[in-house]
Structure 1
């Protein structure tokens, strides 16, 4: 099942994608798609609905006219991220392969939709891209064993961990500073439930900038797999329903380009996708 949220920012409504790829309005049945709607029992009840009876929504497609798609999860409490979780990305960054997952946070104000503009901060020179698999938590995790972790997953999303590298690396430490500008976490188009995704360790992911392929990876190359990541995080903090965990990015980020790094500027366009999780089309604009 593919769930969406559509409408103006801050006023999104719940939707579901039918077998023909059309968005159907769920708002008469659900107030939103957020923590209260992500429990296994609720998702099971939703899967039994005859979506063909629901009204069709004319959502935006490939930048054309239509209703905006927002982040497919509402009421997100926190965004927890895993850094350097692909060996090839650690190598291109010139950093040792970690012995334990590297954790950092993104502010929830970074969240945006799959076709919303990405803002370049005033004076920023090193804005970078990172296509990532996101995990959406469906029920609380606290000191959860690895073998039990996946039962707490509601589903998965496509995400872009946009980063300002000077803020991240050159401004006194703390990666969060380079990760938390508004619009630095485009998510969606869909929340795809775990049963439909199947194995999260066999998904191709890619990202293009202005039509040029920059990243081309696969989640089978994780250093730390999804159960390991969730179990590990749950020993340091409680993960609640609606939280999003970003699992790291493969090689091909702008910082690692040779012979010279390449960074985003106003007017650039990113297109990215993950097998079964849809695609994003993101135009960069200068923030005021």
Structure 2
């Protein structure tokens, strides 16, 4: 098989995320073919350090035989079961191990196919909860500019990256976006403390303007990853969660990027930012990118 053929097949048939329509069928992409530890090797035999770990996924490195062997063994024993009607020892053990590591009373794990569907599940659960509690109008989700929470229709609706919103439709009325939380964007004479006060006021004013009876949750990444690796001012998350709980608004911590060692801990919410979220969403490092999987933890 000549590489020229494979290159043509890639351009002719493999539609990549964020494919530029003007360049479609003419791209010159690197073919990554093998890997080991922190390295990937391309089709020219060049060995490269994979600094981003794929897309912030491969926390424990490539070529881990114990993971590959466990996956192959499980595929031979049982490739699939319906969680509606049955359960499985491995799945129960995995849920237990995640629950043991999640902060506080977050001890119920709902498995999904990735980060986007974990966020979908969290939002749908929040809406379901409020329906059960007799609060049918309490449905709005507050998010931030530059926030990224997924690429499904629902998770994209609460994502605040401008590029994502230029050409793709979103449901109206679900999300409300607060201004950028990047401290570098503060005014020339504005201190970080004043900027922090402004960001907290953004959140509380939005809840009051929309009506606490209409606001279901605030969703936030501990570090806004895809939006530019933005670290909010110190104390930001703690003060946000205090505002949320004062108005019966749930706090969803989107740890798809920051969990499972990315910031040095199983979860960053408690250990790095000293908050106890109501819900955590995760994926990526959950399987180190070896399998597409996510989870919403309640």
TM-score bin (small chain) = under 0.3
Q: Where is the helix percentage greater, Structure 1 or Structure 2? A: 2
TM-score (ref. length: structure 2): 0.22
Larger Rg: 2
Higher relative contact order (CA 8 A, sep 6+): 1
Q: Where is the strand percentage greater, Structure 1 or Structure 2? A: 1
TM-score (ref. length: structure 1): 0.23
